[in-house]
Chains A and B, each alone.
Chain A
């Protein structure tokens, strides 16, 4: 009988009454959350729906009656219970709210007119809505030194702080960087960092956004604008491939701030600091604003270019620049045109260039990746998993770079999932990563040997094999190093697919819209809609005609062909192979060996400086369209500011170039392209219209099954050498960081990191500059000990702001082994 009543009494919802409204709440749901869902706002400072409640601020006191009469209780700490009656507007509640606000304002300075938060301040707003209107406090307020920097990006004004524990809780719970904490006690309590250890978290900007007062401010936005003067549009961040939803805000046609927008499937409202502050590069004075034409042909004046890249160029107009390009295109030999890049634009940009290449330029030599991703067929064709699925799989296998450095918000999601126990993380990596602490298991391996480690685990009697076989598995798969071949990573997919056929993959593509570019066919042998050129879908064939027959080269092939004089026109679509392509020797030979180099770029990057023509491109914030994140989720990006000078979106350049070359792409606006994508790509049929806002639309399925490369045994080890691992850092040597004033100084130093035992074998002190040799080249770099590096690896940042690490890498070799020589020239042992 008791079983029957228990079953009856365990309903899926709990009936509560809030302000006379009957509300169906979830069991365990907090009163404040249930009220939010019912449309009843309870004022709050410390409560945040993505963090655990603490009951610090007492602002959410409401009268709650659970059968013992109404009592004031903090609604952020009390879960709903059956027949609970809540009154958020009773007289006692109002008196409590007035009292709490009067107390909070005892020490809070009333400097709203000069406070950045003024106008969007929860304390200001709630004081107006719920406050007593006057204070009985006449004494002197508490004083602290006005804003102190607690990191390079965040300033703290302790006088304004109301000690709600949001920032400190975020730093500890969500970011995992508890570098700020409450110090002292009572009236002296204040948030502080440890002396000499700043709050240098990759996620520090979030604390500014969730601060309910003006205590935390971000240096790029301080005193830049007032909230009521801001123009805003909702968009999707394209700094990396996670695709966080953001609100982009501008003032006087200049981007001034990004705020995270909370969407369930992706970012939960959080952003990384690179994404949040990278808007600084949009207004950089170094932007290309007019088409540039080289006075001298490429490859002849690199010494001048090094000194002052712009001196090589003279500004011109679009008609003559595009005319020169069109003439070169017409004069080019068949199959001698190539397009590199396209991962920085929108889906529409990628589609337009894909169509231009296949239908007008008649070439299949296109590649959105620069030898730093997985083979396109795998990225697009592997059975796909979403971020949510990765966070809820029985096992999530991480075989990728350090996600905290490469895809920070994915790192946050997986970290949160591991802490909540919704998934178990198993990691195979050449170094410890940001998630190592949260992984139930972390296997270290030499660079390029993840596949053989995994094979040994799954074929042996390791318990992992059984765990994977019996539960759901999501593999986060990415290149952990560009100094090992893509095949090494593809082999991981092959090993897993053969042994755990039900596993699904979340490909950790890095670059902003690389997934969208691949989906739009910017890879050799691929077509829009995740189709292969060998078997084009009917709708696409009807719109595009016959695709160029032979499968073209990938980035490596294009650069190799260009190096041997087989490419007459090389388009660099926001691509900078001299910085980003792993093998810098091949990149240099390729860029200088191509007949004409046309760079479509927003900056005169290292590669653009070697180009014959530079066409100014509009960037994020200056164009609308759609973007695709690493899951394949298509969402809208918004246009808010005007591109400088005559810079224009990539798709427009493609459309005009098509006309100049005697073709016609058949669209005149972004919306027409979005519609055409929906019409010709079965995968994107629903990725149109208003659904693209908010959560976006998950484009699913692929028109083919990927073929895996054959498994091969691990490459032979060089017994005396070390394996080169090129790891990424969030703040790297790329253009985004270099052109953003707020981030520029944060770029990581280039050092080589090795395990302390390996350093002992080298026989020098940590920090000594040594010479490192590979089969390809040599560099001088400081070497430091780091216990987080697996034995046998040497880890270097790529791309580095000041050192050409690519000089060591031969992109055709499966792995890169290096030898370390000390200054005296003794060999490493």
Chain B
């Protein structure tokens, strides 16, 4: 055990405690791991497997399913420029070209100083505000070339530190649910009745109607 910081290890224990099955904590713990390192390292996956009592292969299987878990290092700021229809019509391609020039990397690349990763993204559901982009999944609307330059300067200069945390941080204020406040989910094998809102089947289904 060496990946998680002392603080995150106790956080992991708290998260695991919320679920009747340890394995259910896998995705929340992947978020914690990504918040700590900026991306999900192999070391982290091994440690999560140990914590939730499964194999690293299963953690990798889950982690790799989700686009937002990065298994390669990414910059402090992940800039996703939308390239889908509305944004494309409103100049997303030009914006991307400008961004590539400004940052000196192609889409998918990370700047040598490790500050920015530029990526092309599918629709981000802000079509009325095209062209849009996200920095660490925080929206920027109607971005033009100047706006982009300003954004890069602000990010590099730290002017947006309050608004946009480094990649991997999901929320600055973490929800703490002490054990006595948890909803008390029952393990699936202990559930042997239908939910209360579901009417009991009459007879045995099709035949008795």
Contact = CB atoms under 8 A, between A and B. Distances in A.
Interface of A: 2, 5-6, 9-10, 66-67, 81-83, 172, 177-185, 192-197
Interface string B29-68: 0000000000000100110000000111111110011110
A420 to B, nearest CB: 11
B184 interface: no
Interface of B: 42, 45-46, 54-61, 64-67, 203-208
Contact of B64 (A5, A178, A184): A184
B45 A185 contact: no
B206 A192 contact: no
21 contacts: A2-B203, A9-B207, A67-B206, A83-B207, A178-B54, A179-B57, A180-B57, A181-B58, A181-B61, A182-B61, A183-B60, A184-B64, A185-B66, A192-B57, A192-B60, A193-B57, A194-B45, A194-B57, A194-B59, A194-B60, A195-B42
Contacts of A179: 55, 57
Contacts of B58: 172, 178, 181
The 3 closest A-B pairs by CB, nearest first: A181-B61, A194-B56, A183-B64
Contacts of A194: 42, 45-46, 55-57, 59-60
A619 to B, nearest CB: 37
B65 A184 contact: yes
B204 A6 contact: yes
A384 B67 CA distance: 56
A422 to B, nearest CB: 14
B62 to A, nearest CB: 8
B114 to A, nearest CB: 23
A211 to B, nearest CB: 17
Nearest to A10: B204
Nearest to B66: A185
Nearest to B209: A67
A17 to B, nearest CB: 14
B203 A6 contact: yes
A197 B55 CA distance: 9
A787 to B, nearest CB: 12
Contacts of B207: 9, 82-83
Given A177-B55, A180-B57, A194-B55, 15 more contacts: A9-B203, A66-B206, A172-B58, A178-B54, A178-B57, A178-B58, A179-B55, A181-B60, A183-B60, A183-B65, A184-B65, A194-B57, A194-B60, A195-B42, A197-B56
Most central of B57, B60, B66, B206 by chain A CB within 10 Å:
B57
Contacts of A197: 55-57
Nearest to B59: A194
A585 B172 CA distance: 69
A81 B203 contact: no
A9 B56 contact: no
Contacts of B42: 194-196
Contacts of B67: 185
B206 A82 contact: yes
A808 to B, nearest CB: 34
A185 B208 contact: no
A183 B61 contact: yes
Contacts of B203: 2, 5-6, 9
B57 to A, nearest CB: 4
Contacts of A83: 206-207
A181 B206 contact: no
A7 to B, nearest CB: 10
A184 B61 CA distance: 7
A81 B205 contact: yes
B55 to A, nearest CB: 5
